Amino acid sequence: MSPDANNVGYDDTPILPGTDWHVHDGHRPQPPVVTPGEVCCDCVLVGPPTDAVVLFDGTDLSGWISKKDDGPAMWEVTDGHMQVVPGTGPIQTKEHFGDCQLHLEFAAPEVVKGDSQGRGNSGVFLMGLYEIQVLDCFDNPTYPDGTTGGIYGQFPPLANACRKPGEWQTYDIIWEGPRFDGDALVKPAFVTVILNGILLHHHKELLGITNHKVLTTYEPHPEVAPLELQDHSDLVRFRNIWYRPLAEYDAG
């Protein structure tokens, strides 16, 4: 951690390509706070579209496994949502998929504990490798590339659009995975991220896989892989998780 008390991040990490900023640089400009529109009642979205593949419908974790040992996912399911059980590790879908429109809803713990990265921390790992950050960033500054909606360790979101702790929030993500020819990258990954109806990234090109405190590159992998949710020891909840494969419609 930086010795500078005013730096909520690091200043001893590599410089990100094409920028003057370190990975997790706390002096990087903070995303502006944008208050999302109000929702009526607690129901953000009633259900998935008819062509969606449902990954979690609020009833059980039969479609998920533990990433640690491929055994049953050990997170808690209650009242239509799943909740991280600290120490059980990340979970991932049995379903493998690639380019998609992904929807999920999450809520940070209502009881606030900790600050910066130690408050309501989890993550959505596309293909198990590319993290869109989940964090309680409501009145909680942290290093910008680790803010809610950040492409972790690479790009801060365009806005801090977090709702209050305990309130349900929505991610809508358009994902285009990378393409490889053997070990060679022929097309990088791109992502569009919308949080609570507010655009955070528009067709943003990723630098590679995401990781903590280091520069990364692409590592060859298949065009389909599981979705992973992170256990970062905070009681983060998730619900209404589904995706739609991205495929061109052939009108014939």
Full set of structural domains in the chain with CATH: 53-245 (2.60.120.560)
CA distances from 45 to 16, 104, 134, 172 (A): 37, 10, 19, 12
What is the pTM (predicted TM-score) of this model? Answer: 0.92
Instruction: Tell me: pLDDT of 4 over 90.
Output: no
Give the tokens for residue 109: 């713990």
| Tens-digit pLDDT profile for residues 179-238 | 999 999 999 999 999 999 999 999 999 999 999 999 999 999 999 999 999 999 999 999
Question: Could you read off the pLDDT of 95-138 as tens digits, one per residue?
Answer: 999 999 999 999 999 988 888 998 899 999 999 999 999 999 99
**pLDDT tens-digit map of 52-80:** 999 999 999 999 999 999 999 999 999 99
Burial category of 160 from C-beta neighbours within 10 Å (exposed 0-12, middle 13-18, buried 19 and up) = buried
Long-range contacts of 140-143 (CB under 8 A, 24+ apart): 140/115, 140/116, 141/8, 141/30, 141/116, 142/8, 142/9, 142/26, 142/116, 142/117, 143/8, 143/9, 143/10, 143/24, 143/25, 143/26, 143/28, 143/116, 143/117
